[in-house]
Structure 1
Amino acid sequence: MNKLWIVTFETFLRQVKSWSFVMLIIGPFLMFGISMGAGYLGASSSQNTDKIAVISDQSQLRNSFIKANKEDVDKKVTDKDKAAKMMQKNDLAGYLVLKLDNQKIRAKYFGTDSLSSGQKARINSYLMRTQQQLNVAKAQLTPTQVNDLQQQPELKENIQKKTGTANLAKTISYWITVIMVYIILITYTTITAQEIASEKGTKIMEIIFSSTTAVKYFLGKILGVLLVIMAQILIYLVGGWGGYLVAQNSSLTKGFISQYQSLIDSVLKNILSLNLVYLFLGVVIYTILAAFSGALVAKAEDASKAAQPVIMLNLVAFFVTFPFQNNLDSIIVKVFSYVPFFSSYFMPLRIINNNASPLEITLSLAVLVLSIVLLARYIGSIYQGLMLQTDDSSFWKRFKRGLSYNK
């Protein structure tokens, strides 16, 4: 057992110390940081050009508008000529002239481009609110009459969800899960296959197999790679949560987060569920198959080609899910949600859409776990016969010879 863990931790440490693993980890966070930095610089550079000036002879009218629209207004500009010059230099988006004439508010906007829909809505809201206050004061209404005028209409929604149709949160959740599974599988099947294939036919393998069993060595390799995968997923979860907290408090993104909070909560709930278990178990079974594929190459120089069969199977499983996103009642979806190598894609689709019962999920997980155990045990039993083949024979001859060696 000690030799098993020695191989496991040696494989783990070698992988996490590599530059490829470091770049794999920091890549998403680096892209997030660059995006945030570019957004901040863009927002800083356009801070003034997005703002407007407010010009008015009535200081109270101007101050009330600025108070209601602080983010849109450049407070320093009070003169019409100065505002026009700044607008021509592209230091100001434009200027708004407010006038009060016979208890009626008049507004006129001057700019190099049209107001954005958001700015226009906020200006209209201010004008209507202020005009209403003036009208109420002019009409000398009683408090009861004022309350009657302030009554607002009410809109309610009653959404009828259709079975088999994913809403936006479910669709986003599914695609994030599927892409995570696909990327991690592609990455680690290649790493595992090359890790095994690089040792193919070397004399060191004869020495290793003389000191420990092929099963222990094979399982040690697999467990080492799985520890690397678990470390990556853990780092992504912790880093992702930290990035989410930063986005909640950043001036660039907190408005977006607040606006779509319910959608984001639903997506996170769908991802941080049994789907993570399927992600991990899917990676496990593909990793074992990749190790088998790596052991089948003719020589160490063919390590770059070792992962191709597993990658092709992963591509098939990935693309087969596309036609069934809105057809969860299909018998193909139900069957493939129990089939190893495919269930990691199909069962999360059913879980996210509440299309699978607890019994079905348990049965699917049991089939997947049992398949992993049996596959690892069988490949471990023929691993020595596969690794010690040094002749440059055809793939099928190496495959048959490896299967015939079973200890």
Structure 2
Amino acid sequence: MRKLWIITTETYLRQIKSWSFVALVLAPFVMLGLSLGIGYFSSTAGEDSDRIAVIADQPVRQQFIHQHKADVKTSVTTVAAAKKAVRAETITGYLILKSGPQQVTATYHGGQSLATDLKNKVDTFLMQQQQRLNLSNANLSTAQLQALQQEPRLKQIVHKKTGSAKLVRLISFWIMVFMVYMILITYSSITASEIASEKGTKIMEIIFSSTTASKYFLGKIFGVLLVILTHLLIYMVGGWASFLIASRLSITKAIVADNQVLIGKVLHNLLSINLLFLFLGVILYTILSAFSGALVAKAEDASKAAQPAIYLSMIAFFATIPFQNNADALTVKILSYVPFFSSYFMPLRIIDDNANVWVIGGSLLLLLASILLLLRYVGGIYEGLMLQTDDTSFWQRFRRGVKYQ
């Protein structure tokens, strides 16, 4: 057991200390930080120049500012000051509001037309002011005013598999399959290269003389799995921290607040049994990658070693896309039990509420059984595969490794 732990620790430490691992882990957070930073500075830099000045009698001006404070340069209160601010390009223009006895009017002065969203806000404000003026001039009774103030009532009936529920499923599906795909692709290459780089070296004969090949193989697999666990843990902690930061930043706070329920449901779909399917799928593909790495002819072929696992993962990934809105399909139900495909298809059924506890349990048992059987089989022929140095065909190396067992 001590030797197994030494091999595991050595593999783990070598991987997490590499610059490729650091870059892989930090890349999403760097991109997210850059995006938020650019967005923040862009919004800050253009904050004043995108605003307008409002020139009007105090009550009307205050009402407009109260409704649209973010769009108004409140320090500019006169036409002369507004003209000066336009020339200095600290505002885009100025709006003169006048409320007469019969009609409300507005005149905009600027170097370019009002932005569409701001023009809509101005139109809405003018309609509100005009309606108040019309009601005041109409001299209506209390009953008539109450009748005019009657508002329509909207009732929403949201079906389970439509509307926001459908959006939650789609977002959860795409995040999950991309997570599975990217982690499998990345660590399939890492594992295959880790194994293939030792192929045919004299050091392997020395290692196998001091410990069993199966124990050495398990140590390698466990080491890579610890790296993957570390990676996932960093993403979970970093993702939560990013969410907290986004909920407090001025440029993202409103978006997070408006979509709080949606975000909560998506996180519930991700941080559930689906995460176990993801991790077990990664283990299975890691073992396959190690097997592929041991089958290459020489260490120089390490770059090609991960191709079988990568191609199989690509097939599984692209196979899920046609069924993103059809988790009831027979193909999805069948593939959710097939080990190398279940990590993609069973989460699709779980997200769609299309799998009960017995279905999920059966798929998990098949996945676990496949992992144990593949571990046992590859561990048994590992020494025969690794000690081969002849540049023979794939099938010859495989047959020779099986016979060595």
Give the Cα separation in 1 of the matches to 2:320 and 2:239: 26
2:71 is aligned to 72
What displacement does 1:71 show?
0.7
The aligned amino acid for 1:305 is K
1:2 is aligned to 2
Give the TM-score taking structure 1 as reference length.
0.93
2:399 is aligned to 400
Identity %: 58
The aligned amino acid for 2:339 is P
Give the Cα separation in 2 of the matches to 1:352 and 1:89: 55
2:364 is aligned to 365
Give the TM-score taking structure 2 as reference length.
0.94
1:267 is aligned to 266
1:15 is aligned to 15
What displacement does 1:137 show?
4.9
What displacement does 1:271 show?
1.3
Deviations 1:245-264 (Å, cap 9, x if unpaired)?
Answer: 11111101111112222222
The aligned amino acid for 1:187 is T
Alpha-carbon contact 1:166-1:326 (below 8 Å) kept: no
The answer to whether 1:284 aligns with 2:283 is yes
Q: Secondary structure at the match of 2:238?
A: helix
What displacement does 1:357 show?
1.4
Give the Cα separation in 1 of the matches to 2:353 and 2:110: 52
Q: Secondary structure at the match of 2:340?
A: coil
Give the Cα separation in 1 of the matches to 2:222 and 2:331: 33
Deviations 1:42-89 (Å, cap 9, x if unpaired)?
Answer: 111211222111012x12222232222211100122233443454355
The answer to whether 1:295 aligns with 2:294 is yes
Q: CA RMSD in A?
A: 2.1
1:28 is aligned to 28
Residues 80-159 of structure 1: pairs in structure 2 closer than 5 A = 80-87=79-86, 90-102=89-101, 104-138=103-137, 146-159=145-158
Give the Cα separation in 2 of the matches to 1:185 and 1:344: 11
What displacement does 1:228 show?
0.4
What displacement does 1:358 show?
1.3
Alpha-carbon contact 1:7-1:221 (below 8 Å) kept: yes
1:38 is aligned to 38
Give the Cα separation in 2 of the matches to 1:256 and 1:117: 21
Give the Cα separation in 1 of the matches to 2:123 and 2:30: 42
Give the Cα separation in 2 of the matches to 1:183 and 1:341: 15
The answer to whether 1:248 aligns with 2:247 is yes
Q: Secondary structure at the match of 1:53?
A: strand
Alignment length (residue pairs): 404
Give the Cα separation in 2 of the matches to 1:356 and 1:135: 60
Deviations 1:332-356 (Å, cap 9, x if unpaired)?
Answer: 1111000011011111111111111
Residues 228-247 of structure 1: pairs in structure 2 closer than 5 A = 228-247=227-246
What displacement does 1:126 show?
3.1
Give the Cα separation in 2 of the matches to 1:60 and 1:209: 88
What displacement does 1:404 show?
1.6
Deviations 1:313-336 (Å, cap 9, x if unpaired)?
Answer: 111111111222223222211110
2:208 is aligned to 209
Deviations 1:116-166 (Å, cap 9, x if unpaired)?
Answer: 443234333433444444455555667666555433211112234559x97
The answer to whether 1:307 aligns with 2:306 is yes
Q: 1:157 to 1:43 in 2, by over 3 A?
A: same
1:335 is aligned to 334
Q: Secondary structure at the match of 1:167?
A: helix
Structure 2, gaps ≥5 residues long: none
What displacement does 1:184 show?
0.5
Q: 1:166 to 1:103 in 2, by over 3 A?
A: closer
Deviations 1:201-258 (Å, cap 9, x if unpaired)?
Answer: 1111111111111111111100000000000001000100110111111101111112
Residues 310-389 of structure 1: pairs in structure 2 closer than 5 A = 310-389=309-388
Alpha-carbon contact 1:166-1:353 (below 8 Å) kept: no
Residues 182-197 of structure 1: pairs in structure 2 closer than 5 A = 182-197=181-196
Q: Secondary structure at the match of 1:249?
A: coil
